[in-house]
Each structure stands twice: as C-alpha cells, then as structure tokens.
Chain A
C-alpha cells in the first residue's frame, strides 16, 4: 500500500497534468524542455551544459496566467516593465587555450560575479532609471544576490555591444532602453543556486536538475548560471515570452571523482601512480608521471555524486535529456532501458520518466593510444583570444593592457570591446592605443585597428566610465590595446567595511560581430568576457589611526584639560573674595571661644 500510494498519486497527477501539457505541446508554443550536454575537454575536464527552456504566450503572460513560466519572476518583469532580461552569475574563468571555444559561443556566460542587462520599457531616462531600480531590488530579493548594489555608478547604457535577442515589434522598439549593470565582487554561491532551481517547473526534484548539487557546482573550475527572458515571435504564430535557464560548468574529473567525505587530494599509493615506464630511471620509487590526460574514465554518478533521477514529467518527451559529445570510437555504457540516439560526435540518451540514468565511460582502450585526441573531441578554436591585465605599480596611476589575438590565418575579426569602469579609475583616453605586436608604432592609418570609439566619461561618485571600442584585427595578429588611468582617493566612508583586498573592476565584454549581421545572421557571433581585475587604491589602515586618535585624544583631553585648568588659573586673595578656608575656620573658632568666654565672664 505504501508503495502504491505514490504511484497512484502520480497517475492522478499525470491525469490532471498531462492533458493540458499535451494540448500545449500541440501548439508548440507553451512547452518546456531541458537538456544536459556533456563534453569531455582536454586536461581531464568535463563541460556540463544544462539548458532549461520554457515559454508562455504574451497574452497569457499579460493576463497573469503563468504555467511553466515562473510566477515570481514574471510578476517582477511586469512590474518593472521589462521587455528582455539577461542575468548572469559566474565564477572562475574559461580556459580558452586548453578548452577551446566557449559553450553557446559565449552567449550564455557573464563576467565574474553578477551581470545584469535588460531592455526596459521607458520613454525617458528617469523612468528607465526608476524601473531599473525596481528591477534590481526585486531581483536582489529573488536571487539572494546583492543586485540592489547596482546603483548609478555601476550602471551603464551600452551603445554598440548589445542588441536585443528577441523579436520586438517595431512600434515599441523606440521606447526600449538598455541598461547594463555588473557586480564583479559578488561571490556566487549556493544561495544563488537554490532560487535558480526554484524557477524550474520540476524544481530540481526530477530530471537533469537532480544532478545540480551545490557542492559540485561550486567546486567546478568554471561555472556560469544564466537566465535569459526574451519575446520570440515565430513567423505566423503568436508571440511567446521565452525563459531560458542555462548552467555551464567545467568539472575537473579528477577532483569530482573524489568522495565528498574525503576531498583531500592525498597522494596516491605508489602502485596506483601512472608512470612513464619508458624513462630509463623508472623504478619502484621513481616515477615520471604520465597522467596528464588520464582520468578520462568516469560515470555520471561519480562526477555528480548521484545518478539522474528520471526525467522531468513536464518536459517535452521528444527532446532527449542527456547528450554526450565524444568521438564515435569511444565506448559508452548505460543502464538498460536507455535509448541511445547516435549522431556524428554526439550521442543522446532517452530514458523513461521513472528510471534512473547512469552513464559510464570506461578508460580509453589501447587502440586509442595513437593520440589523446582520440578520447575526446578536439576543442574548437575560438575566433579571438583575449587577456586583460594591469600594468604599472604604485598607488597613483596604472594602466590596463588587453592582449587580443586573432588565431585565424585568413579571416579578420571585428568586435566591440566594452569596459565599464568604476568612477575612481579615471582613464586618460588620449593614452588609449592599439598596436600590433611586432610593430613598434601604432598601425598605419589606412588600416586602423580602432574603428570607432564611444566614450562616456565618469562623474565622481555619480557614474562610472563607459568605453566601447569597435576594432578590427587582421588575420593571425596579436594586438595590444592599452590605456592609462589615474586612481582617485576615496573618502574614508566610501571604502567597503570588509577587509581591504582592493576594488574589483568588472570584466570587459568583447562582442565579436557577425560578418553577416546585416543579412540573415545574428548580431553577435561570439562573446568573450575577460577576467576581472583587482585595483588597489591608496588605503589607510583604518583600525590603527582610529584607535590611536580616539585613545590619545581622550587621554589628552581629560588629563591635560584638568591639569592645565588648575595650573594656570589665578585666584583672588582670600580677603578680596568671600570668607573661607583657614580664616573662616579660625573666625568661627574664635567666635565660639569668644561666646564661651563671654558666657563665662557673664556667669562670673
């Protein structure tokens, strides 16, 4: 009976849930689907890409009928007049040198910390600011993140870097304002994951979301959580509001396979070590390690700490929940009942809703010894490599240097480089210079690297610097983009109350423009975020002067004041002032004595 109960309940549920679901899937407008793509990367890394997508028609959204669309978020969007919203929580960095091109071509990732940009329905700047304030504060509460700290100094209005992804009717396009805010110092952690999962129709209880565990997610070398909401108008159909939630994470297979109760990377036993036995000195106690690309054997439950608990019953059953991108030659074992759908370099697995899914990749066989590349798909080459760092030292000025490398041998790459800098970094725009490595002078004018610059200078304590540079890099060239800046001195109340590590400077956003963007293509072909920077400003050591000042002032005021007062005061002579002191005492005594004497005399 106890076993029957859930089954009964489930069937009841399915009775009441599935008919509308089926109806919705028939219209293909209000559906929900989820998919996990696993892709092994070099250096024993594994990219796990979770994607959840659902939508609701605009009319139902406006009448307050939320089905798969999360109500909490929907109401916020309605209240703040948001047309399109993109929210990113990221941690770590994508190692493009080893891992190749980014998942989703970088479109679903943000810089370190929290990044938010949205198109708001507003006619004036004031209205937009007001709605932005509403939006950030509401999202701050919803996602347990300090989004409410995105104030005027951290908000910019990018001009060239972003374009709406959704389909917006032309009538409303002119009244849409784009606002962009970023919190580079925000540490993304489990308190942000929980509200993220709550937005899902299955709430992380079934389907691929069961694999999302805070311990694993935040132990990843790179992870990015994204929420994208945009209106989509299929040709001929009704416009729908689409919400897409994405989590990309790069797990270190070696680290993930460690049991959770013993995460310490103790050295292996001598016999477990993979050694290069061809070395002449190889012996039982000498071992040249040969394990750099080892650990390519793993199973789903080893990596995520648990196996996948069925599928989400609300999800579109035609979309396979798990796909694995490995070469065709690679052996993959699954549990019985899983249907494998093979395509080139990709295998997807379809399972029944009740059964658990388990994947097992055995160690690569000896036939794959001819190259490590046979175990994994070769990573794609990104269109651009970017690395940004500070130059100079000291507390007064500094510089920023971005190294941009176009790996392509024959295609030039055009992109928009956007920086939103805090106001206390005052940049000297005249020092901005782009030069191709190997050429000492800036490039000749007939082929300028910098095509267009949009610059909005900072106002102290009111808004930050916004710098957008459209650049074009010739094939196989490395370009140094540098500029200098000066550090302002903050007021002491403007320092954050925490330990002073420095101030984080948000990642630069590099949007590589699609060459066919004016035709059929998208606006952005690829997006890159650089790492954030740590800018150290001249900082007093707050506690010490504070203690010293307070303590010594008190002591001096009390001790010196009292002593000085008594030492310098001049007193009037006793006979000039009122009778007192010794004289008074004597006078009294004499008076008494006189009285006694008088009485004595009188008696006599």
Chain B
C-alpha cells in the first residue's frame, strides 16, 4: 500500500483548499450556516421546523428527512460537524460529480438513514428523540470510506491481532457516544450502516444513471456556467473535474492578503472588537449560564457534619471575659497584654508575645502581639490552625465581643481531645500590621529590626479564621471577608465550608462583599462581583486574614452583622464547626479554586471563565502595537496616497529605533520618581505633594513633546514606533498581570483604552486636508491640541485617583496614606502597577498625541 501523502499544515494550503471547494459542498456549507443564522432569531424556530422528530414524520413533513442534516443545535455543534463533513463531502463530490452528489444527498443517502432512524426509534425503541446535524453524513461517509480502505488494506495489526479496518468508524462511533454529551448514538449508527451498505455497493443502483447526468450537463453547459462545478465525466475533464486554478484575479492567497492595504485598516477595529467583547464578557458572567454553583471539593472537610456543643455555661464565662475586656478599654497595648496573658495561660495554653514596629508614611505603627498555642493532645506540633482576634478591626472599632469569644472558645477547645492540629490564638492590637508581623515572623520572612522573632512556634499553618465582632447585641447574619493582599484569595473550599456551616447548619444568613441584602438576581450579582473586583484590584488588606493568604494559609474574617436573634454562642458554634472541618483536613487545602469571582455566596465563576475578559482587553494593546510596527515598516506614501493602490508595495523602509526606544525607556524610568515619592513621603505632605504632582503631570506631556520636537523632530514613523513599543509593554504587562490579579489588570486595561486609538493630532486632519495649505488651520490645531491635552489629563492616573476619591467620598491623603502603609506593611504592589505600568504608558501616549511629526507641515505626499 502507498503511504498517504500527509501534507504539512500551512495557511496557504488551507486557504487554497477552501477556495477550491466544489460547488455542492459549498452550497451545503452555505446552507448550514444560513440555517444557523436563521436559528438565531426567535420568531421562527428552525430547529423545531427542520429536525427529524420521529413522531412528526408524515407525508406533509417528509421534508424533514432532508432538512435535518442542515440544521444544528448550536454554533459549536455546527463548527464540529463542518470540520468533519466538509473534507469528506468534498472528496465525495470531486469523485462522483456535483450532480450525483446533489441527487444522492438530497435523495437516498439522507432519506434512507432518516427513515431507518425513525423506524427504529419509533417502532422498536418506542422513543421520540429529535435528531439533527450533519454528523449523520459524516458517519455515512466514514462508513463508505472505511469499506474502501478495507478493500485495499483489510487489516491493521495491533501486536498480533488483525483488526479489520472497517471497524474503525465503529470505534469512533463509540467514542463519540461516550465523549460528546447528547449525541445520538442511534442516529450515527444508522448513518454508518447506510454508509457501509453504500460502500459495499448494494445501493449504488440508486445513483442516477451517468448517461442522463452527462446529457443534462451537456445540455445546460453546467461545467462552463457554474463555477466550481464538478462534472460527472471525469474522463473529459480530468479526475477532479474542472477546478479553479490560482490564475484568476479573484483567487487570493495569504501573500496577497498580506499586501492588501485593507489589512492595515483592520487592527483598530479588531482592537475595538476585543475591548467590546471583553467588556461584554464581563457583564455576561453573572448569568446562570456562565457562573456556577459552589460546591465542596475537598471531601475531607465535611462541613456541617458534626454537632457543635459550644453553649450553656460557656456563656457565663464569656460574660466574665467580656467584663475583663471592658475594664481594659482605653488601656495601652502592653497593659492589655499584661492583663490577658495570665488569663490565657490559665487556660493551659503556651503564651508568648511579639513586638513589631513599622514605619510608613511618616508614622510609626508599633504594637505587641500576644499569642498562645493550644497544643493538641496526642499530636506532635506538625500542623496548626489559627484563630485571630484583633483588638481593633479595620474600621477602628473595638472588637468588644471578638476577643472574649476567642478566649471562651479556646477554653472550650481545650476540653476536646480530638484535635489533630494545634490551635493558635493570636491577639493583635490592630487588624493589619499586627497579623502581618506575626505571620511574617512565623514563616521567618520578617525583618528582624522591625519585627521580633517568635519565641514559640507550632507546625505548618493549615488555615486561619479571624473574628471581627465589634457589634453589640444579637446579630442576624455573618459577613465573610475573604480578599487578601494583592487580590489573592483563599481556597474556595474554606468559604464554602463557612457558608455551609453558618448558612446550612446554623441557619443564619451569609453575606459577602458588604451586600447586606442579596436577592440573587442579575443586578445584585453584578454588584457583588464588581465590589469584589474593586477590592481585589486595589489589593489592600481587608482584615486580619489578609496577611495569611500570601503564605498559602487560607483565611477568612467572619463578622456578624444585622439585627437578629443569633447570640455570641451561635457565632462561637460557627467557628467551632469551621475548626472541626479544618481539623479534618488530611492535606493542605488544594482541591478547590484559588482564582474565582464570587457573585453570591453560592455562585462563582472560575478563572477559566473570567480570564478571557481581561486577556482580550490586554490583547487589544498588543494587536495595535503589532499593527503599528508593520505600518511603520511601510513607506508613508503608500498608505496616504490618494490614488489608492490595489496593493501595498513590497518595499519596506528602515525603522529608526533609537529615538522611540529612548523615549519609551525615559517614560518607564521616570516612573520610579512617583513610586518612590508617594511611598516615602511623610503623611502630612502627601496631599500637597499630590497636588504638585498632578500639576506637573499635566504639564509634563506638552513639555516633553515640545522638547522632543525641538531636539529631535521625530518623524511620523518614530511616533508610530513610540506608541508601538509603549503599547507592546502595556499589553505584555497587563496580560501577565491578568493571571495574578485579574481585576487590577482589567481596571488598568479599561482606563488605558484611549491609548490604543490616539495618534499624533497633526496627523489626523492633515491626511484629509493635505491638499489645502496648512497655515490657515494652525489656530484650530492649537485649540485641538489644548483640548487633547486636557482630555489626556482627564484619564491620567492622578485624575482617575481624584475621580475615584470623589466618587467614594474619601480624602486623597487618606488613600495615599493607606497605600503607603500597605506598601510597607503588607507588600501591596498596586502602586508598582499604577506608576510603572500605567503611568509610563499614559505619558508615552500623551507625547504621541501631542507630537508634531516632521514633514507633516510641509506636505504629506512626498
């Protein structure tokens, strides 16, 4: 046997293949696509009209036996079937001729399987499953081809077994039935059987006689009239009939496509399409079809499966501890710890303290953590779970119930012998710096000059729960705070467990992202998701739990809210249940998702679903950058010429890279200045500094542009290259960032959209009015430049920051201080993204916008 000649895949070959598809195949392709498009509207249900529904088959509806292969369930179904059927159909047609194919596929080869299917389905199986799609043809043709293969090459040998080649479609059939959901096994089987019969030649008599066909062809001169027509008479026209060659002007190849001037006009639209799709994608996520219900993935957790016993006289103890805490109101951190340490020690725990001092924004954050280890009986300090209670929560309220509850819980936990992991109680003075210092020191990642080492330790941390219970009185629901530093998230299983225990077992409400009311409809879901994205995008610590997440310790903060009938003991039972679940863990939480967007407590989208959104937005910059790079390689006259040449000239011009690279490098290196300034300036100077910076920032682009024009007078090509490099960097950074902190990447991408579409101002009008003298338009140009500079300033990082502050009603100084604290304490790198990714891109974009390409004033056509 001859070895099949396997063509290497290449675009021109594919293109030429598609361009040479014969007539009937083309017609079928078109018909299927048309039916699919028609199916998009709702007034006329094509699928109900054309599908092969056994019960509907009568004389009036026999058309269904012919229409059903042309109709598909959805676009994916269509694409899959097209990919399979087109090559097979093409081969069939080029062998038998267009007319024969038409006659066969609108006759016996479709109706016989259809009727067979109806017969078997209705009368033998007694069912009524509608089928549609071209896969029946695919299997029919597979069957026919398999018989052929069998003739020439009866067996293929696997080890010592001879396996008949005609069985291969059967294997495929089983595979399809197993792998593709809702595929019709019977339908495919019927197609295959008819294919076998056809291949064996028993129904060849159904084909129309060649003589008649030849007569028809001859009379109507079909081969000459119809393009891509394949004649029956292969002897006359060659084996493959008359096929178009690549000599005609209509035949395009990839090379021609590349030289088509229209191709260079495409990228901006492509970029726009990316942005639109990206944004629309984001807004589709809250729908049921795109988000999923949460589920517990780690079976060992068994949330809500244990009885909780924290109640009864433990409440008396809780009240006593609360009195003790009341007595400590207003006392210093050291006094507080001095008082609490004996109490904690009296519970039978090992206690220790840790000092920390952070300097940020001219402030000194210092304090002393008190922590205690409940050594699990029978275990050996290899693993631990953490219970954090900060003295003050992130809103600077005193955690008046949280600390007594934590103490009472530890006292209760001490009575159990079932703990497989140590339990560590961490009492911190504040919610950000204290936990951060403790976690850093626990993992020995601390700076020993600022944060003291921990004198006692336990094993690897497996999870952490923080209590933020500043509310007095009874509560209704629990609020789960889960955002970590830099948008990192805890394992979804932890959140699911708490939801399961609090919501399912204890019967209290559960809220996320401060959505105190949630009706689980689209607007609320969207709002929840956007709030979460904003928080993760800003990358600030949102509670004591945030510091744990960078060390791969899954953590959440639980905060009761609302006015209901749940008391402190109920909150304690939620924590007890969660600890019991974490205690069950055999291995570190790893089963469920680490990248997700929650839109309701039981609904989420995972990274695979949401990532395309940010990636598309980031890709738009890259597309534009590549387009500009190509454009900069073409001579300028070719694109601006008035005579509109059909093709671009093949000649290229040399790119002058030094200046563009220099400008982009300058912009990038300038970014170190604001990054340093805003992270190291003292607190009281932050607001004035910001004002000065904003002013300078507005003046900088015109200044830079002026100097650039004066010193180097860049050409249009160089402006293109500046923009290209800048966008290339932006696209690269943002797509990388999207995998780490999706919301931040998306936010920066969205505010940077204008950078894609801007170009030197003097360029845009000059192309339209290049014939008229440019002196008269100089004043309007000036006005436009001013306008453009103002517009650019409006989307500059400082302006966006100002707008954001105004929108949420917070002071710029506060935001900057919080950012500086986060930078120094938590290691937030949102600033790096803003100043070193977004700001340089904006600066380069502004310089391009205000640029005056050399030669534009003297006339474009050169």
Report which of A92, A254, A272, A570 forms a contact with B379, defined as CB distance below 8 A: A92
A536 touches B313 (CB 8 A): no
Interface stretch (choices B408-416, B675-683, B796-804) = B408-416
> Is A441 interfacial (CB 8 A cutoff)?
no
Given contacts A399-B444, A568-B4, A570-B4, contact A562 B168 (CB under 8 A): yes
Decide if A581 touches B204 in the complex (CB within 8 Å). Answer: yes
Instruction: Write the nearest CB–CB distance from A299 to chain B, whole angstroms.
Output: 20
User: Which B residues are CB-close (under 8 A) to A92?
Assistant: 377-380
A288 contacts partner chain B, Cβ-Cβ < 8 Å: yes
Q: Most chain-A Cβ atoms within 10 A of its Cβ — which of B169, B314, B417?
A: B417
Give the distance to chain A from B266, nearest Cβ to Cβ, in Å: 31
Question: Are B415 and A532 in touch, CB under 8 angstroms?
Answer: no
A571 and chain B: residue at smallest CB distance: B148
Q: Are B319 and A93 interface neighbours, CB within 8 A?
A: no
Does any Cβ of A come within 8 Å of B457's Cβ? Answer: yes
User: Are A580 and B201 in contact (CB-based, < 8 A)?
Assistant: yes
Report B658-699 residues with CB < 8 Å from chain A CB. Answer: none
Contact with A along B304-320 (1 / 0, CB 8 A): 00000111111111011
Whether B312 lies near A267 (C-beta < 8 A) is yes
* Contact in complex: A566, B378 (CB < 8 Å): no
Name 29 A/B residue pairs within 8 A (Cβ), A-sorted: A91-B380, A92-B377, A98-B348, A218-B378, A255-B417, A265-B412, A266-B312, A270-B313, A275-B316, A281-B319, A285-B319, A287-B317, A287-B319, A287-B320, A292-B346, A292-B347, A392-B444, A399-B444, A403-B455, A499-B300, A501-B586, A501-B588, A502-B460, A536-B460, A562-B169, A562-B171, A562-B172, A569-B4, A582-B204
Interface check A273, CB cutoff 8 A: yes
What is the CB-to-nearest-CB distance from A551 to chain B, in angstroms, rounded to a whole number? Answer: 9
CB distance from B151 to the nearest CB of A (A): 6
Within 8 A of B (CB), among A282-318: 282, 285-289, 292
The smallest beta-carbon distance between A184 and chain B, in angstroms, is: 8
Whether a CB of chain B sits under 8 angstroms from the CB of A558 is yes
Which A residue's beta carbon lies closest to that of B316? A287
Q: CB-nearest residue of chain A relative to B156?
A: A565
CB 8 Å contact bits of B298-340 with A (1 = contact, 0 = none): 0010000000011111111101110110000000000000000
Q: Once the chains are docked, how many angstroms separate the CA of A95 from the CA of B348?
A: 11
Say which one of A203-211, A356-364, A383-391, A516-524 lies at the interface with B.
A383-391
Contact between chains at A97 and B350 (CB < 8 Å): yes
- The interface bits of chain A over 396-407 (1 if a CB of B lies within 8 angstroms of the residue's CB, else 0) are 000101010000
A580 to B628, CA, bound (A): 59
A390 to B457, CA, bound (A): 9
**Could you say which residues of chain B place their CB within 8 Å of the CB of A581?**
201, 204
Determine whether A135 belongs to the interface, using a CB cutoff of 8 Å to chain B. no
B256 at the interface (CB under 8 A from A): no
Chain B: which residue is nearest A97 at the CB level?
Answer: B350
Q: A92-B377, A221-B377, A536-B460 are in contact. Are A273 and B172 (CB under 8 A)?
A: no
Of A532, A567, A589, chain B has the most CB atoms within 10 Å of the CB of A567
Interface string of B172-203 (1 = CB under 8 A from A): 10011001000000000000000000000100
Shortest A400–chain B CB gap in Å is 11
CA separation between A403 and B375, bound complex, in Å? Answer: 18
Q: Which residues of A contact B591 (CB under 8 A)?
A: 541
CB closest residue in chain B, given A286: B319
CA distance A5 to B552 in the complex (A): 69
Report A318 CB to chain B, min CB distance, Å. 36
In the complex, whether B6 has a CB less than 8 A from a CB of chain A is yes
Residue from B5, B311, B445, B590 within 8 A of A570 (CB atoms): B5
B584-614 vs A, CB cutoff 8 Å, 1 = contact: the mask equals 0011101100000000000000000000000
Tell me if A500 counts as interface (CB < 8 A to partner B): yes
Nearest B residue (CB) for A288? B320
Determine the chain B residues whose CB is within 8 A of the CB of A577 once the complex forms. 152
Chain B residues within 8 Å of A563, by CB: 84, 172
Q: How far is the CB of B521 from chain A (nearest CB, A)?
A: 34
A267 and B311 within 8 A (CB): yes
Cβ of B551 within 8 Å of any chain A Cβ, yes or no, is yes
Does A387 contact B456, Cβ atoms closer than 8 Å? yes
Residues of B within 8 A of A528 (CB): none
CA distance A133 to B415 in the complex (A): 43
Complexed CA–CA distance, A214 and B321 (Å):
38
- Please determine whether B175 and A585 come into contact, CB atoms closer than 8 angstroms: no
Decide yes or no whether A533 CB sits under 8 A from chain B: yes
Contact: A269 with B460, CB < 8 Å?
no
B interface residues with partner A (beta carbon < 8 Å): 2, 4-7, 84, 87-88, 142, 145-146, 148-149, 151-152, 168-169, 171-172, 175-176, 179, 201, 204-205, 207, 239, 300, 309-317, 319-321, 323-324, 346-348, 350, 375, 377-383, 411-412, 415-417, 443-445, 455-460, 551-552, 586-588, 590-591
Interface pair B309/A264, CB less than 8 Å apart: yes
Min CB–CB distance A148 → chain B (angstroms) = 23
Interface status of A549 (Cβ within 8 A of chain B) = no
* Alpha-carbon distance between A562 and B138 when the two chains are bound, in angstroms: 12
Query: Are A534 and B459 neighbours in the complex by a CB distance under 8 Å?
Result: yes
> Measured between alpha carbons, how far is A391 from B87 in the docked complex, in Å?
62
Cβ–Cβ < 8 Å partners of A533 in chain B: 382, 459
Within the assembled complex, what's the spacing in Å between the Cα atoms of A286 and B322?
A: 10
**Is there a chain B Cβ closer than 8 Å to A368's Cβ?**
no
Asked whether A268 lies within 8 Å of B313 as measured between CB atoms, the reply is yes
Residues of A near any B CB (own CB < 8 A): 43, 91-93, 95, 97-98, 112, 218-221, 252, 254-255, 264-270, 272-273, 275, 279, 281-282, 285-289, 292, 387, 389-393, 399, 401, 403, 498-502, 504, 531-534, 536, 541, 554-555, 558-559, 562-563, 565-573, 577-578, 580-582, 584-586, 589
Closest to A389 in B: B457
Min distance, Cβ B133 to any Cβ of chain A, angstroms:
16
CB of A286 within 8 A of CB of B316, answer yes
Closest residue of chain B to A264 (Cβ to Cβ) is B309
Q: A389-B459, A534-B460, A555-B175 are in contact. List 12 more A-B contacts (CB 8 A).
A: A252-B377, A255-B415, A281-B323, A289-B411, A392-B444, A502-B382, A532-B381, A534-B382, A558-B172, A566-B149, A568-B5, A585-B204
Instruction: Tell me how far the C-beta of A436 lies from the nearest C-beta in chain B, rounded to whole angstroms.
Output: 14
Judging by beta carbons under 8 Å apart, are A580 and B151 in contact? yes
CB proximity of B177 to chain A, nearest CB, Å: 12
Contact B313 A269 (CB under 8 A): yes
Q: How many Å from the CB of B620 to the closest CB on chain A?
A: 31
Given A218-B378, A504-B382, also A566-B145 (CB < 8 A): yes
Known A-B contacts A390-B460, A499-B586; the reply to A268 vs B381 at CB < 8 A is no
Question: Smallest CB-CB separation from A268: which chain B residue?
Answer: B313
Question: Which residues of B sit under 8 angstroms from A270, Cβ to Cβ?
Answer: 312-313, 316
Chain A residues lying within 8 Å of B168, measured Cβ to Cβ, are 562, 565
User: Do residues A589 and B205 form an inter-chain contact, with CB atoms below 8 A?
Assistant: yes
Tell me whether B378 and A279 are in contact (CB under 8 A). Answer: no
Please give, as numbers and ranges, the residues of chain B lying within 8 Å of A219 by CB-CB distance.
377-378, 417
CA distance A393 to B84 in the complex (A): 51
Contacts of A43 in B (CB 8 A): 348
CB distance from B614 to the nearest CB of A (A): 25
Whether B149 lies near A499 (C-beta < 8 A) is no
CB distance A285 to B316 under 8 Å? yes
User: Which residues on A sit within 8 Å (CB–CB) of B383?
Assistant: 501, 534
A95 CA / B4 CA spacing, docked (Å): 76
In whole angstroms, what is the CA distance A393 to B443 when docked? 6
* CB proximity of A86 to chain B, nearest CB, Å: 20
Measured CA separation A218–B319 after assembly (Å): 35
CA distance A252 to B382 in the complex (A): 21
How far is it, in angstroms, between the C-alpha of A514 and the C-alpha of B377 when the chains are bound?
A: 32
The answer to whether B551 and A393 have CB atoms under 8 Å apart is yes
Shortest Cβ gap from B731 to chain A (Å): 30
Bound: A97/B350 CA distance, A: 9
Residues of B near A401 (CB, < 8 A) are 444
Is the pair A531, B313 in contact by a Cβ cutoff of 8 Å?
A: no
The smallest beta-carbon distance between A422 and chain B, in angstroms, is 14
Contact indicator B314/A267 (Cβ below 8 Å): yes
With both beta carbons as reference points, the residue of chain B lying nearest to A187 in the complex is identified as B378
Residues in chain B near residue A498, CB distance under 8 A: 586
